[in-house]
Amino acid sequence: MDRTTAWLATAGPDPFPAPAVLPAEVDAVVVGGGLAGVATAYWLARSGWAVLLAERGPLARGASGRNAGVFLPAPRPLEHPGLLRSVLAEEGIDAGFRRTGHLALSSSTAVLAEVRAEVARRSPDAPPLRALDRPECEKKAGMPIAPRYAGGRWASDGHVVHPVRLVHGLAAAAHRRGACVATRTPVRDVVPGRRRGWRVHTARGPVEASHVVFACAAETGTFHPGLGEVITPMRGQVLATGALPPMGAPAMAVDFGSVYWRQTDDGAVVLGGCRSADPGAETGTRAEQLNPAIQRALSAFLAATFPGFPPHTVTGRWAGIMDQTADGRPLAGALPGGARQWVIAGFGGHGLPPALGTARALAVTMTTGRPDPLLAPLDPARFGGSR
């Protein structure tokens, strides 16, 4: 059984070997090579800054390469899919980004009532949202659905993406714009600098930097212990099937993401969730271990949800660590008390839609010295423990 994620296995050769030499000085060091860190490095390099992106392993080795590749934007400016679409086109990145729509099956009439209430209060300028009955859900899914589902939530603006190809493409674009992408380069500590504001000690030597950005998810607390009290690691379980015939189904979920899945371009179904099978074991851990109870629930899910679902084998299983804040909103902005130290983390299980826009707003704040108002709800200072 392969524990390499479907995304890492199909992303092609690793495009970023470890560098032989690091720059002695840069404008900013970004710590973390997931989507948030790579996107921040991209926008900073695009602004003309000298940037070092330091990642302890390969790019997208953490949560950015361990999700289902579902891009379901909320009606917030930082999550608009048009930004990602324009960057992919401008930089010539093929990340498999396409609009499929998103169907979330309602597991009870109570959940369906919540969906209808959400639709009723939806702003007219927000992406379209509809409540569907079960026959309408079956039509969208292209297959029968178990009677226990009362209906569903249809979001026509749902997309899918190959998350590792996205990270690799943005990193390559940042590199073209002058950023140094240093994979397999762990950051050991950050101390006051001699020539610049900060001296970043890495496994490949020190780098002087005017700014440091921590984009290392639940590991952010390693550098700022106060943030360890704000960000809780949450483990997620995922599996992938062997190739199946194209089903034409949208990206899908149960309720508000308790289970989630989509079919990849090569026919595999990537399925994650089922945390309710053993929730206690998945909270507060940073170990990317498989949970047998949850994996059994995932294995049984497709056949139980879709009567007559095609026979299939499970070809891969993996786990990933998400970073959840107490109020469910990311952290993005200046670290209180840390002059020219910044954070972009805490996206939980909803990082794909907002990461690029949040990183751009952070880069604008850093390079202009004027806080982007879009970051106000994400200000780390809202948590006293982060000081």
> Which residue, of 301, 323, 345, is where some domain finishes?
323
The reply to whether 94 falls in a domain is no
Host H or E run for residue 109: helix 109-120
Give yes or no: residues 359 and 313 share one domain.
no
- 387: helix, strand or coil: coil
The number of domains in the chain is 2
What pTM was computed for the model?
0.96
pLDDT at site 14: 87
Question: Would you list the DSSP string of 258-271?
Answer: TEEEEE-TTSPEEE
Return d(Cα 365, Cα 334) in angstroms, integer. Answer: 9
CATH of the domain at 112: 3.30.9.10
Looking at the chain, the number of H-run helices and the number of E-run strands are: 10, 19
Strand 159-160 relative to strand 70-71: parallel, antiparallel, unpaired? antiparallel
Range of the domain at 363: 6-82+163-230+327-386
Low-confidence residues in the chain, pLDDT < 70: 1-3, 385-387
Give yes or no: residues 282 and 190 share one domain.
no
Give yes or no: residues 11 and 154 share one domain.
no
> Closest by alpha carbon to 115, among 126, 91, 131?
131
Return d(Cα 197, Cα 65) in angstroms, integer. Answer: 32
Give yes or no: residues 237 and 319 share one domain.
yes
Are 106 and 149 within 8 A, CB to CB? yes
> Which residue, of 278, 296, 323, is where some domain finishes?
323
The reply to whether 31 falls in a domain is yes
The backbone torsions φ and ψ at residue 32, rounded to the nearest 5 degrees and listed phi first, read: 125, 125
**Structural tokens at position 317:** 């299983």
> Which residue, of 275, 302, 323, is where some domain finishes?
323
Give yes or no: residues 237 and 313 share one domain.
yes
The predicted-structure confidence for 355-382, as pLDDT tens digits, reads as follows 999 999 999 999 999 999 999 999 999 9
C-alpha dist (Å) from residue 261 to 19, 148, 174, 363, 369: 36, 18, 30, 32, 41
Give yes or no: residues 179 and 281 share one domain.
no
Return d(Cα 325, Cα 347) in angstroms, integer. Answer: 8
Q: Write down the residue that tokens 């840390």 correspond to.
A: 338
The predicted-structure confidence for 309-329, as pLDDT tens digits, reads as follows 999 999 999 999 999 999 999
The reply to whether 88 falls in a domain is no
The reply to whether 335 falls in a domain is yes
List of residues 6+ apart from 64 with CB closer than 8 A: 34, 35, 36, 163, 164, 167, 351
pLDDT at site 387: 40
Give yes or no: residues 293 and 318 share one domain.
yes
The reply to whether 150 falls in a domain is yes
pLDDT at site 126: 85
> Closest by alpha carbon to 326, among 217, 221, 225, 230?
230
> Closest by alpha carbon to 84, among 161, 10, 174?
161
Give yes or no: residues 11 and 70 share one domain.
yes
The reply to whether 243 falls in a domain is yes
Host H or E run for residue 84: helix 81-91
CATH of the domain at 371: 3.50.50.60
Give yes or no: residues 211 and 239 share one domain.
no
Give yes or no: residues 60 and 23 share one domain.
yes
Q: Write down the residue that tokens 């700022």 correspond to.
A: 224
**Structural tokens at position 268:** 């595999």
Give yes or no: residues 247 and 317 share one domain.
yes
Return d(Cα 234, Cα 275) in angstroms, integer. Answer: 10
The predicted-structure confidence for 210-237, as pLDDT tens digits, reads as follows 999 999 999 998 998 888 889 999 999 9
Give yes or no: residues 170 and 226 share one domain.
yes
The reply to whether 226 falls in a domain is yes
